[in-house]
Structure 1
Amino acid sequence: MLAISVDSVFVHKAWQEVELSKLVEGGLPYPMLSDAGGDIGRIYGVYDEEVKVDVRGTFIIDPDGVVQAFEILTPPVGRNPEEFIRWIKALQHVRKTGGAEVTPSGWEPGCPVLKPGVNLVGKVWEEWKQS
């Protein structure tokens, strides 16, 4: 896991020490990287050329380098870290089963999964019970 922004490493250090360490015991447990020129933000489509900053984006990239999920929010809208972690767990489960099991909306570890195939067509409503 990485945090990347156009801010300098010095701004990241101050943010970690002054703010994040008070929100999360010990601060963020992963690196904060500087993308001062916006190159990474441009690649992922979150760099705003007009104001020279990255819009908030969350990307889940699998071990093969493929973006599996992303969310882009405007700065005034807060993110949900629990949902982000749920996405990761769901993607890990699907990867572990080789796609033989997929996770419906709101899936949590231990909840029922769906087994894709011709037997599921037209019967998702029978198999997937929302909680």
Structure 2
Amino acid sequence: MWNDHELSKMVDGGIPFPMLSDAGGGVGTLYNVYDPEAGVENRGRFIIDPDGIIQGYEVLTPPVGRNVSETIRQVKAYQLVRNSGGTEATPSGWTPGKKTLKPSPDLVGNVWKEWKVSED
């Protein structure tokens, strides 16, 4: 219904992937976003890695929308970290092409030497 009556008017030709419905809130209950009294799920997004581990999530109440650009940024950051084998970490506000951090015991308490807020 959302795709037919809303998204198809926002995205020319509709979205290029199928949308699923969680009738009864089974999946929403598993992820703790289903409100059984209202019979709806709170808005949420979950970043799940190829091993099935939730790496990130955000749950918002209905009046506040999500930021798709931020979700894409986070997916790219998780991919970089995973592909580096854990030898790189992304600081606050990191975007592709920006400086990463090299996790080590020496970095603890010294992030300020390696990364500045102005680089965000």
Runs of 4+ in 1 over 4 A off after TM superposition: none
The aligned residue for residue 100 of structure 2 is 113
Q: 1:26 Cα shift?
A: 2.6
Measure, in 1, the Cα distance between the counterparts of 2:8 and 2:88: 39
Q: 1:30 Cα shift?
A: 2.2
The aligned residue for residue 33 of structure 2 is 46
Q: 1:37 Cα shift?
A: 1.4
Residue by residue over 1:68-109, the C-alpha shift from the partner in whole angstroms, topping out at 9 and shown as x without a partner, is: 000000000011110011010000000000111000111000
Aligned residue pairs: how many?
Answer: 118
Overall identity of the aligned pairs, in %: 61
Could you say what secondary structure the match of 2:44 adopts? Answer: strand
- AA paired with 1:36? A
Measure, in 1, the Cα distance between the counterparts of 2:22 and 2:48: 18
Measure, in 1, the Cα distance between the counterparts of 2:13 and 2:91: 34
More divergent stretch after superposition (66-75 vs 20-29): 20-29
The aligned residue for residue 99 of structure 1 is 86
Q: 1:129 Cα shift?
A: 2.1
Could you say what secondary structure the match of 1:100 adopts? Answer: coil
Residue by residue over 1:33-85, the C-alpha shift from the partner in whole angstroms, topping out at 9 and shown as x without a partner, is: 11111100000000001111111111111100011000000000011110011
TM-score by length of 2: 0.92
Could you say what secondary structure the match of 2:105 adopts? Answer: coil
TM-score by length of 1: 0.85
Measure, in 2, the Cα distance between the counterparts of 1:66 and 1:30: 23
The aligned residue for residue 70 of structure 2 is 83
Measure, in 1, the Cα distance between the counterparts of 2:20 and 2:100: 36
